[in-house]
A and B are shown apart, each in its own frame.
Chain A
Amino acid sequence: MSDKPEELNVQSPQTEQTERTPINQEAESFERAVDTPQSRLEQLVEQLKHDIAEDVVDEAIINEVNGQLPTITVKKEHWLAVARWFQVEEEWSCDYLRNVAGVDQGDELEVVYHLISLQTRREIAVHVKTEREQSWIPSVTPLWPTANWNEREVYDLLGIDFPGHPDLRRIMMPDDWVGHPLRKDYDPSDTEV
């Protein structure tokens, strides 16, 4: 394994693995048209492009190890619109934000949101990336109050700003702490700390 950051996810099923004869190819494409995680993902991306913006999705993959979880990467400028879309759109109605995780990906910082609908059971993971310096991602606290402390934690430990957050303060570290510990370039022996 190489050291540099690479593709986060395993690519989705179907392609290349099975030997293709014209018959099973046809069966496969038929199956794909009907209902597979991949087809549903493609459909979702089309819908998002249509409803929000052409360039909204940077990447869309099926995370196989995570029970075929659809995982998309959206532009931070569109994240708020996408979040609202998932919440309002009937077939999704993601009312439950189950996890918010900040990740330092080296060149960029990233926040991963795991959404689920308790009614439709549909689930999605959304990655939102931001640059290292002056990093910001719009806050989704107005949509899901549960994001409040989660975003404070990400701000505290990774230093990402969440414009729109009602009360963005440190939550784990003391208020006068210098630096953001979960960043990879954080130096614990920094004299200023």
Chain B
Amino acid sequence: MIRTEELLLNVGPQHPSTHGVFRIVLKLDGEIIKEATPVMGYLHRGTEKLAEQLNYTQIIPYTDRMDYVSAMTNNYVLVHAVEKMMNIEIPERAEFMRLIVMELQRVASHLVWWGTYLLDIGAMSPFLYAFRDREVIIDLFNELCGARLTYNYMRVGGVKWDAPSGWIDKVRDFIPYMRKRLKEYDKLVSGNEIFLARIKGVGIYDAQTAIAYGLSGANLRCTGVNWDLRKQEPYSLYERFDFDVPLSFNGDCYDRYRIRIEEIVQSLRILEQAVEQFPSEGETMGKVPRVIRPPAGEVYARIESPRGEIGCYIVSKGKAEPYRLKFRRPSFVNLQILPELLVGQSMTNLITILGGVDIVVGEVDC
């Protein structure tokens, strides 16, 4: 008999495959993971505490920095919550602008995920392709609001900037471009045998587990649970558009991959319709009091971010600053299942599974 010894291995917080400052402590028996303990908090900035001293408009830039890969949806969940409390009506043009940027953001976010996931697994070129195409979207955002990642674009009651002339046409041109690219990528990667061997049947869980762990987004839909807040609890203008919710049933990394790719296709469908129906003129800001003071009360607003259900719970005491502001961050909640998935897996699958969950550490730690 060979005597084996348990090995304690520290991964992160500085590790390229943890996508930020996420740390996990592993107990290994040979190459097999016996126990995994995630350690968070390296990027904790106390956004919720800071928000208690700021007025609502001042909080918006902070939301950009939570899920910095998908800042537009974060902007939206905050302003949406405040609008709900104050019962503010949003001009149609503004709502269209919001929806278009949110869907562009979903495409951009999934592209980042796609590129980095393949980079983790060992394919370099998809990363470069993904970032090249994401750059098109980022240029569009840059033209719109002067920032590449932290947009600070939405306001309670509307959006800060109207679309510059020709901007909508650029979005229109982007759709067929992205469709063509996506087909190429599918050909390049999705059928690759090495890639499939790495992700098929890895990190499996069933629908019951997913629900119990409160997973959302692709992490939930990969088990066949039809739960997309754009359909189930429609907000913004999603009811007007025709799109499908991609589902799949095996609950492994491959299914999560397929769903995210398919979601890009569906987002492009929504964008196509939104660009067609875009009102040619109109206001971009609704009637909003100069100082935003939601009436005393509480609200929990939630939307579908690229990573799942992002929620904003506000307790107001009728002042210009929130009494308590809590973000339900999908990355934080989704990550909880990780220790369970890792037990019994080989070391190499750590990266496959962690990447498959799709976290952004800025959002995990908030």
Contact = CB atoms under 8 A, between A and B. Distances in A.
Interface of A: 1, 3, 5-10, 63, 65-66, 69, 71, 95-99, 101-104, 112, 114, 118, 121, 125, 144-146, 148-150, 157, 170-174, 181-182
Contacts of B318: 1
A98 B211 CA distance: 10
Interface in B309-348: 309, 311, 313, 315, 317-319, 323-324, 326, 328, 332-333, 335-336
Interface string B298-310: 1110100000010
Nearest to B216: A98
B213 interface: yes
A104 B323 CA distance: 9
A98 B46 contact: no
Contacts of B232: 121
B214 A144 contact: yes
A7 B317 CA distance: 9
A3 B319 CA distance: 9
Contacts of A174: 41
Between B49, B293, B309, the greatest number of chain A beta carbons within 10 A of the residue's beta carbon is seen for B49
5 contacts: A98-B309, A99-B313, A118-B225, A145-B212, A149-B333
Interface residues of B, number: 41
B297 A9 contact: yes
B336 A145 contact: yes
B23 interface: no
Contacts of B336: 145-146, 148-149
B317 A65 contact: no
A98 B324 contact: no
Contacts of A125: 300
Closest 3 CB pairs of A and B: A146-B214, A1-B318, A101-B326
A172 B211 contact: no
B49 A171 contact: no
Contacts of A65: 84-85, 87, 295, 297, 299
A3 B87 CA distance: 23
Contact of B315 (A8, A96, A97, A144): A8
Nearest to B40: A171
A172 B296 contact: no
Contact of B311 (A98, A146, A173): A98
A146 B213 contact: yes
B263 interface: no
Contacts of B214: 96-98, 144-146
Interface string B14-35: 0000000000000000000000
A172 B299 contact: no
Contact of B41 (A5, A104, A171): A171
B311 A96 contact: no
Given A101-B313, A172-B365, A95 B40 contact: no
B48 interface: yes
Contacts of A5: 317
B148 interface: no
B44 interface: yes
Nearest to A174: B41
A149 B214 CA distance: 11
